[in-house]
Structure 1
Amino acid sequence: MRTSVALCTYNGEKYLQEQLDSILNQNLPVDEIVVCDDGSTDRTVKILQEYELKYPEIFRIYKNEKNLRSVKNFEKAISLCKHEIIFLSDQDDLWVSTKTEIMLQYFREHPEIAVLCSNGFGIDDYGKELDVITIWDVPQFLRESKIQVDYFKMISYVGNIATGATMAVRRNFTEKLLPFPVKQGFHHDEWMALVGSYYQKFDLIPDRLIKYRLHQDQQVGGISYPNTEDTKKQLIRFFNLFGHNRNFAAYKKLLKRLTESYSKAQDFAKNGIKHELVDQQLSDAVYLYRQTQSELRRKYPVRAFILSHLDSITGKRQLKP
């Protein structure tokens, strides 16, 4: 399997060299690095050009004429990659030296998987590993608790657990992913995980294969939590909203998430984003919403009646046409 890296940059001079070196120093070398710079005004482009001169057979650098922003810049970078497996990369993280080796082996052993993520370490601005739990730990936590993991339902109705910086995709699957939809607060990695999981071609492995930088200058982030047993239990409860033995508060949360998911899918449909998974999300959300309401009324009849009355007044937890 030959490999490409889709790397997007924007004013990333501070950490870029470390990231590039970590990619170049993989046990199993990559075959090309496609970089799309989104109008950097610092030394980012100069750094890239220095690497291109040193490794002309690997680097291909593109400078955007106008600022595309993260989602569309990654769309461009991915579309320019030539090889069978495409690794996504941010500009400020570090790759563990076994990243390509382990992920390629997984692709070989699991031909049904087209979108693959990994776990990772959190690091600070100085590269020091942090004692944190990450969102990528959630699937493993659920499995350890004997809870079945349904990635499509999890990402659709609870929250995204996939981060582009840990992601690799088969090039022949990108036709189902591109173009990326543009919606405020919605990112390309969530779309890739949604589409992959919809076709049952997504997985997240527990191997920690990147060092993800947690700092204030990130464009997108927010994946780490305090490493405590209480945090772990909270994450399991949060992502297991479809489990049994829910209390009243859990029912309220589930209704809220279902209405939010329904609203998001509606926005996609209204903005001309045509994909069968959007129709699936809409129909599933309606079914699950009604099922949840029915369970809530059966278990908590009085409180459910009061909640329904209040929600009809405030507009909360409502499926709106």
Structure 2
Amino acid sequence: MTISVALCTYNGEKFLRKQLDSILDQTVSVNEIVVCDDGSTDATLKILNEYEKSYPHIFKIHNNEKNLRSVKNFEKAISLCQNDIIFLSDQDDVWVKEKVEKYTFFFRENPKTNAICSNGFGIDQKDVILDVVTVWDIIAEQKKRNPKLSYFETINFAGNFVTGASMAIRKDFVSKCTPFPEIDGFHHDEWIALIAGYTDSLEFFPDKLFFYRQHDDQQVGGVFFENTENKKRRLSKFFTVDDHQNKSFRNYKHLLKRLSASYKKNKQLIETSVFYRDLLGKSLEKIEVLFYIYKNRMKKKYPVRFFFLNIIDKIKNKRQLGK
């Protein structure tokens, strides 16, 4: 089983060496590292060229003629990878030494798995591990309580928990998830996870197999939260949609807001992803059903507050399913 790494860079000089060193220091070696640089103006390319000279048989550096931005840059990097398993990599994280070994072993033993993601540590700019709870901790706990947890429905109806920094996919799965849709606020890792989740070929490891860096320059964050029991409970509710528990007025508001946002996102995806129209159409139908179930429950339990909220929402076009 051969291994590629698809790594995208843009002005990443500050942490790039640590990321590259952690990839090269794996207990199972990678066969190639494909890097697509998106027009860096700092020392990123200089650093990459140094590594390419030291490891000419591993590094393949591509300098984009124009700025592709994150989604399309990763699509390019992935398409250039030649090996059986493709690991996605950011430019500022650090991999645990056994990450590649554990992923490839699982792929080898589970041929129906097309994509793997994992839990991870949070670190700051000085590599200090943060005392935080992560979205991955919440998913790990939910999966422990409910082994039949649907990753597809969790991602599509509640929110994405998969980050590209933790993801690896099979080469023969690439054609099933590309081209990546271009929608504001929608990222390639969520799309890959949706498609793999729908085909029940996405696996989540509760083990912490990478160090995810929190800093001011990162493009996507929002994975670290205060490590308190109250926050854990709130996050658990956030990532739970199709249940029958009693909810507070605030819970209903947030849930309806998320479902309406998911409805809008799926409608946009239908317009850009012809191949998955049937899948996304079914998602729209379920979102609509859930939306009105919870809206009616909210109306029944909090009739007065619901009445005024409904008027305000119609005026502001919030918590609405656009037809």
Category of TM-score, reference length = shorter chain: over 0.9
Q: Quote the residue 2:321 is aligned against.
A: 319
Q: In the alignment, is the contact (CA less than 8 A) between 1:138 and 1:161 conserved in 2?
A: no
Q: Quote the residue 1:90 is aligned against.
A: 90
Q: Quote the residue 2:224 is aligned against.
A: 224
Selected match of 2:289 from 287, 290, 295: 287
Q: In the alignment, is the contact (CA less than 8 A) between 2:133 and 2:227 conserved in 1?
A: yes
Q: Match of 1:161, as an amino acid?
A: F
User: Which shows bigger deviation, 222-231 or 163-172?
Assistant: 222-231
Q: Quote the residue 1:43 is aligned against.
A: 43
Q: Match of 1:252, as an amino acid?
A: K
Q: In the alignment, is the contact (CA less than 8 A) between 1:181 and 1:273 conserved in 2?
A: no
Taking the aligned partners of 1:104 and 1:40, their CA distance within structure 2 comes to 32
Backbone CA RMSD of aligned residues: 1.9
Q: In the alignment, is the contact (CA less than 8 A) between 2:118 and 2:206 conserved in 1?
A: yes
Unaligned stretches of 5+ residues in structure 1: none
Taking the aligned partners of 2:28 and 2:273, their CA distance within structure 1 comes to 41
Taking the aligned partners of 1:160 and 1:266, their CA distance within structure 2 comes to 17
> What percent of counterpart residues are identical?
52
Secondary structure of the residue aligned to 2:117 is strand
CA offset digits 1:131-168 (Å, max 9, x no partner): 11111112122234458522111111111100000000
Taking the aligned partners of 2:304 and 2:148, their CA distance within structure 1 comes to 32
Taking the aligned partners of 2:19 and 2:229, their CA distance within structure 1 comes to 32
Taking the aligned partners of 1:41 and 1:310, their CA distance within structure 2 comes to 47
User: Which shows bigger deviation, 270-279 or 42-51?
Assistant: 270-279
Q: Match of 2:257, as an amino acid?
A: K
Taking the aligned partners of 1:311 and 1:222, their CA distance within structure 2 comes to 26
Offset of 1:241 from its aligned partner? Answer: 2.9
Offset of 1:242 from its aligned partner? Answer: 2.2
Secondary structure of the residue aligned to 1:186 is coil
Taking the aligned partners of 1:53 and 1:314, their CA distance within structure 2 comes to 57
User: Which shows bigger deviation, 63-72 or 304-313?
Assistant: 304-313
TM-score (norm 1): 0.94
Offset of 1:228 from its aligned partner? Answer: 1.7
How many pairs align? 321
Taking the aligned partners of 1:207 and 1:235, their CA distance within structure 2 comes to 19
Q: Match of 1:296, as an amino acid?
A: M
Offset of 1:45 from its aligned partner? Answer: 1.0
Q: In the alignment, is the contact (CA less than 8 A) between 1:142 and 1:148 conserved in 2?
A: no
Taking the aligned partners of 1:254 and 1:202, their CA distance within structure 2 comes to 25
CA 311–42 in structure 1, closer or farther in 2 if over 3 Å, else same: closer
Q: Match of 1:256, as an amino acid?
A: K
User: Which shows bigger deviation, 136-145 or 164-173?
Assistant: 136-145
Q: In the alignment, is the contact (CA less than 8 A) between 2:242 and 2:290 conserved in 1?
A: no
1:165-184 aligned at under 5 Å gives the runs: 165-184=165-184
Taking the aligned partners of 1:136 and 1:110, their CA distance within structure 2 comes to 22
Offset of 1:62 from its aligned partner? Answer: 0.6
Secondary structure of the residue aligned to 2:5 is strand
Offset of 1:11 from its aligned partner? Answer: 1.1
Q: Quote the residue 2:280 is aligned against.
A: 278
1:85-234 aligned at under 5 Å gives the runs: 85-146=85-146, 149-234=149-234
Taking the aligned partners of 1:272 and 1:85, their CA distance within structure 2 comes to 25
Asked whether 1:26 is paired with 2:26, we answer: yes
Q: Quote the residue 1:254 is aligned against.
A: 255
CA offset digits 1:300-320 (Å, max 9, x no partner): 455545544443344322111
CA offset digits 1:94-131 (Å, max 9, x no partner): 11100001111121222221111011111111111111
Secondary structure of the residue aligned to 2:61 is strand
CA 14–307 in structure 1, closer or farther in 2 if over 3 Å, else same: closer
Offset of 1:185 from its aligned partner? Answer: 1.1
Offset of 1:220 from its aligned partner? Answer: 1.8
Taking the aligned partners of 1:193 and 1:179, their CA distance within structure 2 comes to 14
Q: Match of 2:174, as an amino acid?
A: T
Unaligned stretches of 5+ residues in structure 2: none
Q: Match of 2:110, as an amino acid?
A: H
Offset of 1:31 from its aligned partner? Answer: 0.8
Taking the aligned partners of 1:221 and 1:303, their CA distance within structure 2 comes to 34
Taking the aligned partners of 2:28 and 2:307, their CA distance within structure 1 comes to 60
Taking the aligned partners of 1:131 and 1:308, their CA distance within structure 2 comes to 40
Taking the aligned partners of 1:142 and 1:50, their CA distance within structure 2 comes to 44
Q: In the alignment, is the contact (CA less than 8 A) between 1:261 and 1:281 conserved in 2?
A: no
